[in-house]
Amino acid sequence: MPVTSSNPPTPPASRLAGLAGKLTAEAVAGTAVFVLAFGLFFYLTRVVFREHSQGFDAWGFAQMDRLRHACPWTFEVAKALTFFGSVWFFIPASLLVPLVLHRRGLGRYAVELLLAMGGGLALNELLKAFFHRARPASALFYQYGLSFPSGHAMMSMAYYGCLAWLVVQQGRRWGAGAALVGFAVAIGLTRVYFHVHYPTDVLAGFCGGAAWLVLLRTGIRLFWKEKKLIKN
Residue-wise pLDDT for 125-150, tens only, equals 999 999 999 999 999 998 889 999 99
Contact indicator for 199, 224 with CB cutoff of 8 Å: no
Contact indicator for 190, 82 with CB cutoff of 8 Å: yes
Mean pLDDT of 27-39: 77
Question: Over the chain, what is the mean pLDDT?
Answer: 85
Share of the chain above pLDDT 70, in %: 82
Mean pLDDT of 102-110: 87
Closest CA to 124 of 28, 188, 81, 58: 188
Q: How many residues does the chain have?
A: 232
Angle 12-45/199-231 helices, nearest 10 degrees? 160
Mean pLDDT of 95-109: 89
Q: Cβ neighbours of residue 200 under 8 Å, at least 6 residues apart? A: 44, 47, 48, 56, 57, 148
3-state secondary structure of 168: helix
